[in-house]
Structure 1
Amino acid sequence: MENFDVSDMAAAQDYAPKHFLWEVTDGVALLTLNRPERKNPITFQSYGEMRDLFRALVYRDDIKAVVITGAEGNFSSGGDVHDIIGPLTKMDMKQLLRFTRMTGDLVKAIRNCPQPVIAAIDGICAGAGAAISMAADMRLGTADSKTAFLFTRVGLAGCDMGACTILPRIIGVGRASELLFTGRAMGGEEAERWGWLNRLVAKDTLLADALKLARQLADGPNFGHSMTKTAINHQWSMSLEMAIEAEAQAQAICMQTQDFTRAYNAFVAKEKPKFEGN
């Protein structure tokens, strides 16, 4: 497939992907995995296209926040059995490593894009689908959601797409170990208790609630949000001393933005600040 070239379009809403749906409304993007007849599985092509898209978002000022969801009651059933798992059994080591690195590159692209990313999870969220939602900054889900890191169920290790690094940081080592060793499904109410879901929402308001949260973030200090996400990513491997110094530098940079001055002036005038991301 051809790589997504950000320079080819004047505005992000002009992007027309081949393997998922993409809508942009006033800086809030909605990415919908759209193969509902098979519970929205991931294919070789959709992996690559999503990777290229999230890499390109680093350079897009017209996207302020992103929501990822699945069509018609399911988030994603993970790697397609016929389109991915079958072909993998016939690949040599070089081809397999190329594939596993590509799937990891999607997670890295979601983590490294400066925009806050929200996963809206209903129904099945399994395998690669669980890893994609794991890469998001926040997750909203329904009581009917079932999240499962299924890799051991197909004879693989639980360490896939960053799961052994990211998942324990979300729900803790013991709980992550249980899910990664057993491959069992985590229900929606359990997922909220464990901290996987930021919030449990009604099935019929899931997308609206996710978009409302995205809108709230998009209307905030976008440069400040990008610095926050960068700090969360980088500080995983820092000592406390290094983290505090990095945050001091980040905050000093943010204090030079016009949004900081806008917020001060609005406070003095007893008005709500209108951030512009600069």
Structure 2
Amino acid sequence: MNQQSPLAAGNRQSLQGFAPRHFNWEQRGAVGVITLNRPQRKNPLTFESYAELRDLFRTLCQVDAVRAVVIQGAGENFCSGGDVHEIIGPLTQMSMPDLLAFTRMTGDLVKAMRACPQPLIAAIDGVCAGAGAIMAMASDLRVGTSRSKTAFLFTRVGLAGCDMGACSILPRIIGQGRASDLLYSGRSLGGDEALNWGFLNRLVAPEVLLDTSVQWAQEIAAGPSFAHAMTKKMLHQEWALGVDEAIEAEAQAQAICMMTQDFHRAYQAFAAKQKPEFKGD
């Protein structure tokens, strides 16, 4: 949608001046960088950071200036999951209605990540456990290091492995058998194994993890953002469709993309033997 459209009012937002309280946010051109910033505790989540992250991803649905997002942890770890003292302890004292409100809120974070149109890249180093592993799983792409350790450790604390969509999403990334291994055992998946299993898309040295992830995000951001958003939507939506329904849905999606100026720019650039400059409209 063009910024001059009368529909922009109320349907488009800016993150200029955005300063979250419970994590860091930086915008590098068209790439947003989220940093979970509690390195002394391996970047655990709190009730407040769950909610603030959820709200950011919901807002990103209306932000054209951000075309891709990188998620990382400060220090040498990604995220250790829910904070033991600030979340796990209080949960043991809550009533069932409050517990359900909490688990629905955490699930809403994953829903918001999957619904936001920007491709999400998780930059994973060190510990990536519990809800941290879920955030990595819910991202579209994952870059890790050989020292990264991803663990869906819910059964280790007496909970089911079916947390925040894990039993639905994880098998689609690595397969049913491998997902079962991780969700029943709660064991750590090392970087090399995670790459071999397809959980990680790329494996790099720790010192270049963020730069590699941001560069990849910048390459994506330079592409046709409307078409990328459509690709992400169809990848998610087609999980619940039969093949015939998926083919029809993709026919409609592709016809819509053929109406964009980016599609026409790509043709004109190809005809002129030039590289297209995509603008997202």
Same-fold status (TM-score > 0.5) = yes
Question: C-alpha distance in 1, partners of 2:218/2:76?
Answer: 22
CA–CA distance in 2 between the matches of 1:228 and 1:10? 22
User: Match for 2:107 among 104, 107, 111?
Assistant: 104
**Structure-2 residue corresponding to 1:153:** 156
Q: 1:179 corresponds to which residue?
A: 182
Counterpart position of 1:247: 250
Alpha carbons 1:118, 1:139 under 8 Å: kept: yes
Distance of 1:218 and 1:257 partners within structure 2: 17
Which string of whole-angstrom CA distances, capped at 9 and with x for unpartnered residues, describes residues 134-169 of structure 1? 100000000000000010000000000000000000
TM-score (norm 2): 0.95
Number of aligned residues = 272
- Aligned partner of residue 59 in structure 1, secondary structure: coil
> Where does the alignment leave 5 or more consecutive residues of structure 1 unmatched?
1-5
Partner of 1:209: 212
- Structure 1 distance, partners of 2:128, 2:143, is 12
After TM superposition, list the pairs within 5 Å mapping 1:228-267 onto structure 2: 228-267=231-270
SS at match of 1:68: strand
Q: How does 1:195-206 map to 2 (within 5 A)?
A: 195-206=198-209
Amino acid at match of 1:265: Q
Question: How far off its partner does 1:62 sit?
Answer: 1.0
- Which residue matches 1:31? 34
In the aligned structure 1, how far is the partner of 2:230 from the partner of 2:76?
34
60, 63, 66: which is aligned to 1:60? 63
Aligned residues with identical type, % of pairs: 64
| C-alpha contact (below 8 Å) 1:13/1:23 kept by paired residues | no
CA distance in structure 1 between the partners assigned to 2:224 and 2:216 by the alignment: 14
Q: Does the CA-based 8 Å contact 1:152-1:180 persist in structure 2?
A: yes
Q: In structure 2, what is the Cα distance between the partners aligned to 1:132 and 1:69?
A: 10
Per-residue CA shift, 1:58-116, capped at 9, x if unaligned?
11111100000000110000000000000000001000000000000000000000000
Unaligned runs of 5+ in 2: 1-8
Q: CA deviation at 1:26?
A: 1.1
CA–CA distance in 1 between the matches of 2:16 and 2:133? 26
Output the aligned Cα RMSD: 1.2
Q: What's the CA shift for 1:12?
A: 1.4
Q: CA separation in 2, counterparts of 1:263 and 1:126?
A: 42
Describe the SS at the equivalent of 2:61: helix
Mapped partners of 1:142, 1:26: distance in 2: 25
Q: Could you tell me which amino acid in structure 1 is paired with residue 58 of structure 2?
A: R
Where has structure 1 moved over 6 Å in runs of 4 or more? none
